[in-house]
Amino acid sequence: MTTPGVGVLVSLTFVSAVDAPERFRSSRAVGPHFGLTPKKYQSGETEYSGRISKVGDASVRTALYEAANVILTRPVKGSDLKSWALRVARRAGPRKARVALARKLAVVLHHMLKDGSEFIRHKASLAMAA
């Protein structure tokens, strides 16, 4: 995979955990599958989002988190993913930005795996802006 921050180990871990990309309805369903979305608490009038759910494969979650950390700490030329994550870091903090970038990486990698397409630096954050 040609995504910045994603090497051989991360891509093999991701591909082996996803197995068949067709089993997910959309690429956005991959984030919750690996526990990269917040838990929801709802009771009567009370409703809030908690920490990430941590369901699913912990090794994939760790690999994606480390890939996000590499993107944020190393110089990556012309990556909209990095600029998007830096904006999230200013707003919510660096740890939440790494988890958000890890979820976005999971979405992008699943989309690339499903289509067999290459990573496009300037298009990734715009197409997967959810």
Q: Tens digits of per-residue pLDDT, 48-86? A: 888 888 888 899 999 999 999 999 998 877 678 888 999
Range of the domain at 82: 8-127
In a domain, 83, yes or no: yes
In a domain, 3, yes or no: no
In a domain, 95, yes or no: yes
pTM over 0.75: yes
Higher pLDDT, residue 54 or 128? 54
- If one counts the domains in the chain, the total is 1
pLDDT the model gives residue 102: 94
For residue 38, give Cα distances in angstroms to 31, 93, 98: 10, 15, 14
Whether the pLDDT of residue 121 is over 80: the answer is: no
In a domain, 2, yes or no: no
Asked if 64 and 34 touch (Cβ cutoff 8 Å), the reply is yes
Identify the CA nearest to 95 among candidates 126, 52, 124, 33.
Answer: 52
Tell me if residue 40 falls in helix, strand or coil: strand
Rounded CA-CA distance 35/38 in Å is 8
